[in-house]
Amino acid sequence: MAQFRNWLGVALIAGALALAADAPAQGLPQVRREGHWNAFNQTIAGTWQILDERGTLTLVLSEDFETRKAPDLFLYLSPKPQSELGNRNAGDGALFVGEVKVPRGPQRFDLPPETDLSQFRTLVLHCQSYAVLWGTAPLD
């Protein structure tokens, strides 16, 4: 009986490891990047993730995402490091991800199919109308 229990335990562990290794093939999202916001001119709370969902990259703002309401609050992926970004150049050379329409709660933004994350260094939240850099987050 003890041998059977040992064998059963080994079989269950092996099965669980096989399922975990096969997760991408089953279409479960993989986290490609994740982090916290660094406030620049406005407070930003919450976390974010970039998920690979069956080949589609999606930026996900967490349930606890919160910031101040503003017109034209845009998300970008920038090739520049955080230290080089400011109010006037936040979107320069960056990939537009989407507009944050509500200042709190979970939100999802699909990235263009050809997006190569290795080309970007910073996630940017920027108020386009007033040229105000809300905040940033490093991607590497």
CA 133, 134, 135, 136 dihedral sign is negative
- Whether 139 and 33 have beta carbons less than 8 Å apart is answered as yes
Q: How far apart are CA 50 and CA 101, in angstroms?
A: 19
Residue 16 located in a structural domain = no
Residue 4 located in a structural domain = no
Task: Give the number of domains in the chain.
Answer: 1
Residue 102 located in a structural domain = yes
Range of the domain at 113: 27-138
Q: How far apart are CA 17 and CA 15, in angstroms?
A: 5
Residue 112 located in a structural domain = yes
Where would I find the beta strands (DSSP E) of 42-111?
Answer: 44-45, 47-53, 56-61, 66-67, 73-78, 95-99, 107-110
Residue 58 located in a structural domain = yes
Q: Whole-model pTM?
A: 0.80
**Along the 140 residues of the chain, how does pLDDT read in single tens digits?**
555 455 444 444 544 444 455 445 566 899 999 999 999 999 999 999 999 999 999 999 999 999 999 999 999 999 999 999 999 999 999 999 999 999 999 999 999 999 999 999 999 999 999 999 999 999 98
Residue 5 located in a structural domain = no
Residue 8 located in a structural domain = no
What three-state secondary structure class fits 18? helix
Residue 1 located in a structural domain = no
